[in-house]
Amino acid sequence: MTLIKSISGIRGTIGGNPGENLTPIDAVKFAASYGKWLKGYSKKEKLKVVIGRDARLSGEMIQNLVVSTLVGLGIDVIDLDLSTTPTVEIAVPLEKADGGIILTASHNPKQWNALKLLNEKGEFLNAAEGALILEIAEKEDFNFSEVDDLGVIIRNDSYIDVHIDEVLNLSLVDAEVIKAAKFKVVVDGVNSTGGIAIPKLLEELGVEVVKLYCEPTGHFPHNPEPLKEHLGDICDLVVKEKADFGIVVDPDVDRLAFISNDGEMFGEEYTLVACADYVLGKTKGNTVSNLSSSRALRDITEKHGGVYEASAVGEVNVVTKMKNNNAVIGGEGNGGIIYPESHYGRDSLVGTALFLMLMAEKGGTVAELRASYPSYFMSKKKIQLTPELDVDALLVAMEEKYKDEEVTTIDGVKIDFAENWVHLRKSNTEPIIRIYTEAKSQAKADGLADKIIEEIKEIAGL
């Protein structure tokens, strides 16, 4: 059982002891810490916060605790109930709210839940803001409101529909073009809120929908991380139904993966590549992804005459770099699409609409589209280190060893070779180094990772 406190929020497993797991006491403490921080940050007398949750089993309990805590601080709450992460992000500025909290553990299994914290723009807090909230939580110095000053709860369960309308109104989305293509799509909503939002969007776009695991019961039918080894059912169903493709989302609907018409994975890394291909073909501009994302985005961006830049890992870092780079689209290689015309957050509804537009205009099959992109393969490994080893010193040694290559050190050490790359990052919570590589074949990616691991072990004397 685990409780992880970080600058991006608090997440943990339900049950057990306070301070060690995400218990009701911990949920109240961190909701109160966010509320106290928000009062100092906004300096307004009366605050309003948007709350939404995915469908996981603990969601209603955590929601009730968080909502009541904010009300106890005198903060009004707009309660969206079952929602998605991007829906809450969109709702915050539309409601002119002062912040937002999404109750979801994203792709983690059902025993997990989390509080993800937003500012008044509906964007994730930066590192300094997150650190302040952790400090407040440690002090537990709270001052709750008297009875006449309690906040109120405003329930609004219409925001998924509002979100869909926002997507339909995007300048690069033409519902009539998509309807004319007469697509048939299988949707795996992992029995969470994606099973509500994605089919609704598709139906508005005239797409025939085959639903798989779209009941928001919170009983995830498979590991909810949208990786190949978890998605055998939808891969089979796409072929059986003779569908044009399949759509898979994680429980809070900010990660998007496609299944090609042949039942093969389109590749999470290529979700962003395809959406960027469509957007850059209509809007000249730049792109951003994180250092651990595929080089294919750089290739596609340069093909369209744009400039690609990489940020440190983490959505808030991608967003900051996108703003600085005037990126017209960006995101993360885990299937996260960030399209600034909509909002600065990963959004599977936006990604779905952009992908449908690309397919409607290009024609052909999804498998043919995937084959048209530069082909790269990734390897993701790690080295377990003993606690007494200096991980930072090991990374510096690797930087020095490859100083004649293109080296980036904004987040660990990334070494770009002519045909491939390796990214080394230390874990914040355990003595390991993560090793991500990408090459033109799986064998080459795995071989590069193994080579780097051996070099690190040699330097460390392991």
Q: Which of 106, 260, 348, 379 is catalytic?
A: 106
* Tokens of residue 49, six digits: 């916060």
CA distances (Å), origin 57, targets 26, 68, 80: 17, 19, 17
Q: Which long-range contacts (CB under 8 A, 24 or more apart) does 295-301 make?
A: 295/374, 295/376, 295/421, 295/438, 296/269, 296/270, 296/373, 296/374, 296/376, 297/272, 297/273, 297/333, 299/374, 300/273, 300/276, 300/373, 300/374, 301/276
Per-position b or e across 349-383, b if 16+ CB within 10 A of its CB: bbbbbbbbbbbbebeeebeebbeebeebbbbeeeb
106 included as an active-site residue: yes
CA distance 145 to 159: 29
C-alpha closest to that of 425 among 377, 375, 385 = 385
CA 228, 230, 231, 232 dihedral sign is positive
HSE-CB of 115 using CA atoms within 13 angstroms: 35
CA distance 123 to 321: 14
CA distance 323 to 340: 9
**Close Cβ partners of 389 (under 8 Å, ≥ 6 residues apart):** 431, 460
CA 270, 271, 276, 282 dihedral sign is positive
**Close Cβ partners of 105 (under 8 Å, ≥ 6 residues apart):** 11, 56, 112, 113, 114, 251
* 117: β partners: 101
CA distance 19 to 270: 39
Active-site annotation, residues: 106
